[in-house]
Amino acid sequence: MSLSGKIAVVTGGSRGIGRAISQRLAALGALVIVNYVSNSSAADETVQSIRNAGGKGEAVQFNVAVSEEIEAAFKKILEAHGQVDILVNNAGITRDTLLMKMKDEQWDEVLNTNLKGVFLCTKAVSRAMMKQRWGRIINITSVVGFAGNAGQANYAAAKAGIVGFTKSVARELASRGITVNGVAPGYIVTDMTRDLSDEVTNKIMAEIPMGVLGEAEDIAGAVSYLASDDARYVTGQFIHVNGGMYM
């Protein structure tokens, strides 16, 4: 697979799964724009790792939950590069708690970042992709969006919302040569899962037929396929990368 000459934007690209996706797309030849909201040092590390490997990358700051910041950022990206070929909507946060204890702001923060952010960024690139009649939009959802999880009603709702959004937009944009797909990670080794206790981790692994947590690179592999010409006839679909946890 080659993404040479393509411009890719990865939201939440500075750490974890986003970093692995950014590095993989760059390794395939794309110029990768690594989005971050606050941790500039992590974004710079990701960009430097891309450049050290011979790839092309740059960091851009904007909050995916704020439409004005997104519009300004994508305007600059289009002015600088003339196109956006690949958008990976990866940015996400958690505010876990049981429903009875969940505050309005905990619901709103997660839905605004994890779902509204996907809507805003997709809308921002769709016009340019339609003009060039080529585009790849890849939305990162979650096994939780399909199976649910106690203590994550807000997160699961947002990730499930991405599923319906992806299918709807795939239908709208298909005639313009734009595919819209999703990747649904299971439990992946990231900063988020490293904070889990051994007891919780062991309980999770007992539910995974393969018996291990996934790696960020496993998600990057699925994303790179969907971003490539190999997936030109795939749209409105989801690749589940979870070791068999959800079938």
CATH number, domain containing residue 14: 3.40.50.720
- Domain annotation covers residue 246: no
- Domain annotation covers residue 247: no
- Domain annotation covers residue 2: no
- Domain annotation covers residue 152: yes
For residues 100-114, average pLDDT = 98
Q: Cα-atom radius of gyration of the chain, to the nearest Å? A: 17
The label of the residue with tokens 């900063």 reads 191
Is the pTM higher than 0.85? The answer reads yes
Strands laid side by side in the 238-241 sheet? 56-61, 31-36, 7-10, 86-89, 135-140, 178-185, 238-241
pLDDT band at 46 (very low <50, low <70, confident <90, very high): very high
Residue range of the domain that includes 129:
7-241
Cα–Cα distance, 157 to 106 (Å, whole number): 13
Active site residue 155: yes
| Tens digit of each residue's pLDDT (9 = 90 or more) over 169-211 | 999 999 999 999 999 999 999 877 777 788 988 999 999 999 9
Cα–Cα distance, 2 to 5 (Å, whole number): 9
Which of 155, 187, 225, 246 is labelled catalytic? Answer: 155
- Give the number of residues written for the chain: 247
Amino acid at 57: G
Asked if 89 contacts 124 with a C-beta cutoff of 8 angstroms, the reply is no
Overall number of domains in the chain = 1
pLDDT at 1 over 90: no
Nearest to 89, CA basis, from 137, 159, 143 = 137
- Domain annotation covers residue 59: yes
- Domain annotation covers residue 70: yes
- Domain annotation covers residue 1: no
Angle (CA) 88-182-240 rounded to 5° is: 125
Tell me phi and psi for residue 7, to 5 degrees. -110, 120
- Domain annotation covers residue 162: yes
Three-state DSSP class for residue 228 = coil
Cα–Cα distance, 55 to 30 (Å, whole number): 8
